[in-house]
Amino acid sequence: MWEQWNIIMKKRKINILLLFCILNTVCCLAQQPDFLFMSYNVENLFDTIDNPRKNDNEFLPSAERKWNSYRYHKKLRDIAKVIVAAGQDWHNPDVIGLCEVENDTCLKDLIHKTILSNFHYNYIHYDSEDARGIDVALLYNEQTFKPIFHQPLPVVFDDTCRKTRDILYVTGIMTRTNDTIHIFECHFPSRRGGKTESEPYRMAAARVVRNKIDSIYLNCFSPYILVSGDFNDAPTDKSILEGLRVLGIHAATHPFTCQCLYGLEDKNAEGTHKFQGEWEFLDQAMVSYPFFFEYAIQYHVLQNEFLLKKSEKTGESSPYRTYLGPYYKGGISDHLPILVSFKKRDRTQPENQQ
């Protein structure tokens, strides 16, 4: 009798455990975002092969940095680890914008020779005129994002001797909501030569993006637009406020600012990049008014422990970078990634019940 009772109780425990697992899974699925976007400056993702058309000499096995196959593949595995770690409730990023990628060889190796090979990522990339050969690129999950159109947007300066990377513009379908999204992945010109002196170059890049956004509004009613990347400027700098016409989220209720972009903020982060001991928000994301109105948006800077390195002298944390000057540090990047989660609002329910 006692044996039968024990068997019955064990079955009940198993059923309760199964029910708990099912409910937990349903809860996680309910909390999943409809679209998860990540942007990451991966700090000089070069292969080890010399490209005679680009100034990639620093990242060769024979160079002072001694960039070799072991270091290259370690960096690929580390970047893949960051992407997987960015996932929310079993939902990996649907689209990942990358800055500082040398070529499509690096992208192929990233999605086929790392843990990312277990997923369904493909990529979009164009070679740019950047002298060092570092471009922007987009990874996307083929099951959750369907590209419709993509093109590079060249940034041309009056000073024709200076070259920079293109802006990558991609239009596609977010399959969970069947909405079209316009994505701009940017890596604005650096501050080389001084922040003030180099500002016109970033303003030129901002105008390219802004002009394209204005043309989208002429041809599309209430477009969903996402602009992200490494802007080499702070949210309060001229290229962001005036060039891109970015406002704070609080301004989105103003009826005359609907064609402006709205900058996303993470108040729990000090920055995404550290220079001379000071944190800066160089990596940013901003959205159009329709996105802000129709979707619940969550934004944050990823600050996982393995992305940071503490100084032995000061005890302060900085992004765990791959190189400091010519010295190999073994880290992933000198920037922190940013993550944007979108969940479409249920307009059939009262606002306070969503």
- For the stretch 227-237, pLDDT in tens is 999 999 999 99
343, part of any domain: yes
- For the stretch 289-313, pLDDT in tens is 999 889 999 999 999 999 999 988 8
**Residue 340's beta-bridge partner residues?**
37, 299
Separation between Cα atoms, residue 314 and residue 344, nearest integer Å: 44
Tally the domains of the chain.
1
Q: Give residues with Cβ within 8 angstroms of 299, minimum separation 6.
A: 264, 265, 266, 285, 338, 339, 340, 341
26, part of any domain: no
Q: Tell me if 132 sits within 8 A of 148, measured CB to CB.
A: no
Q: Tell me if 150 sits within 8 A of 171, measured CB to CB.
A: yes
- For the stretch 234-264, pLDDT in tens is 999 999 999 999 987 655 555 445 688 999 9
298, part of any domain: yes
Query: Is the pLDDT assigned to residue 353 strictly greater than 70?
Result: no
Q: Tell me if 123 sits within 8 A of 138, measured CB to CB.
A: yes
CATH assignment at residue 240:
3.60.10.10
67, part of any domain: yes
158, part of any domain: yes
- For the stretch 92-136, pLDDT in tens is 999 999 999 999 999 999 999 999 999 999 999 999 999 888 999
Separation between Cα atoms, residue 37 and residue 342, nearest integer Å: 8
55, part of any domain: yes
Separation between Cα atoms, residue 93 and residue 321, nearest integer Å: 22
20, part of any domain: no
For every residue of 117-167, DSSP letters joined together read GGTTEEEEE-----TT--EEEEEEETTTEEEEEEEEE----SSTT---PPE
185, part of any domain: yes
Rg (Cα) of the chain, in Å, rounded?
22
User: Average pLDDT for residues 69-78, to the nearest whole number?
Assistant: 98
Q: Identify residue 18 by its one-letter amino acid code.
A: L
Domain that residue 108 falls in: 34-353
